[in-house]
Chain A
Amino acid sequence: MLDVKVEKFEGPLDLLLELIEKEKLDITEISLSKVTDQYLNSVASLDPKAYDVSEFMVIAARLIYLKSKALLPTLETEEDEEEIEDLKTKLEIYKKYKDAAKEFSNILEKNQRSYPAKKPQLILSKFTPPKGVELNDLWGTFQKLLTDMPEELAREEVELPSEKITVEEKLAHLEELFAGKKSHRFSHLIKNSSGKLEAIITFLAILELVKIKKITVKQDNNFNDIELVRVG
């Protein structure tokens, strides 16, 4: 089904501005903290398909800060003041451009457009067959070309691993193995894997077992097979 993006506003600043204007408030510190809850609610119900939600988070954080500051005025520091001023200014600037955009739309709605003069078209070089060449010759050559074309190479069929094994499942399986027999060879466990993916998962599960101290690892010499031994 076609997924249609319906964007009610253009971004976090647009949303914030809309909320403030809906409440018929001016852009002030107080009005900003007043619309915090509405802003957060709107962000929570955003369609992640239509919006980059992370873009809304910076302003969400600032609003929450503003609100908490309104509740606990003693928190104030100089730096915070600047940040609030910054948000206010940003919103004011954004509103200016948004208003300008409205005027742009009005101009465009008038459908008054200028067109440039039509420039002389470049004359495309035409195909002129050499003398004596008939339609049938061209048709024959074209068909020959088609048959001479190398056939598409048959693609090798790749089998995708149908079953997925999780590390957790493998872990349980290994614990069972070690419950039955105290020691196992590393190479043996890896060789028993059905493919690369399972080998990797086996390896991860072994690392986990070592970490939680269920087994220990022994290797007599470099490049010798590694022996895995159950603890206790």
Chain B
Amino acid sequence: MTKKNIKSIIESILLVAEKPVSVKELSSCCESMVSDVQKALAELIKEYEGRGMRIIKKGNYYSLVTDPDNAGAVAKFLNEELRHDLSPAAIETLSVITYKQPVTRMEIEDVRGVSADHLIRNLMIRGLIQEVGRKEAPGRPILYGTTMEFLQYFGLSSEDELPEFEMPEKAAELFREVDTITEKEDANK
């Protein structure tokens, strides 16, 4: 398949897709190699610059969405409220999940020192976070991560655009310790 065709097919699929599409799905629909699809996607993303729509990326998944600069006009057309209505507690919880994902409820609560039960539920209902798996730990607790809708909600094109986040040295050390302990435990299994 020619390069032009791949790009064209990707564009069409992203337009009709109900949810984010993985590179794998695209490559099977285009009957092309994953690497060719990735190249085509990268080119498409560039070509969309300055247009009313853009392709956003989360991990290996892609979505076609509107340019966040047009949010005001689009919201007006859709008759939707543009102002965000997340509580400070919800935003705080979201920041923990964003930079610590995949993360369990317990780990979120440990950072904030308060129960996160209903906040997690609300963020899930809003589609900003989702279950991404289970932790290999006692009780196999649910792991949470952010969604493509999260990127849309913040008007970002990929996670690279998130504000930088650096752990304090001490804390990073502490986490490293925990990681090595869990790694060791995993190795023992």
Contacts and interface: CB of A to CB of B under 8 A. Distances in A.
B92 A10 contact: yes
Interface string B117-142: 00000000000000000000000000
A63 to B, nearest CB: 13
B21 to A, nearest CB: 12
Interface residues of A, number: 37
Contact of A92 (B69, B153, B171): B171
A218 interface: no
A96 interface: yes
A187 B84 CA distance: 69
A55 B152 contact: no
B58 interface: no
B109 to A, nearest CB: 9
Nearest to B96: A97
Given A92-B171, A100-B99, A116-B64, A111 B71 contact: yes
B154 A59 contact: no
A10 B89 contact: yes
Question: What size tier do the contact residues of chain B reach?
Answer: 35 or more
A112 B71 contact: yes
Given A100-B99, A104-B94, A111-B72, A93 B168 contact: yes
A219 interface: no
B74 A115 contact: yes
26 contacts: A10-B88, A10-B112, A13-B112, A14-B113, A52-B114, A59-B113, A89-B170, A90-B110, A94-B113, A96-B165, A98-B95, A101-B95, A103-B163, A104-B91, A104-B94, A104-B98, A104-B163, A105-B88, A108-B153, A113-B68, A113-B82, A114-B155, A115-B71, A115-B152, A117-B16, A117-B53
Interface of A: 7, 10-14, 52, 55, 59, 85, 88-90, 92-94, 96-98, 100-101, 103-105, 107-117, 119-120
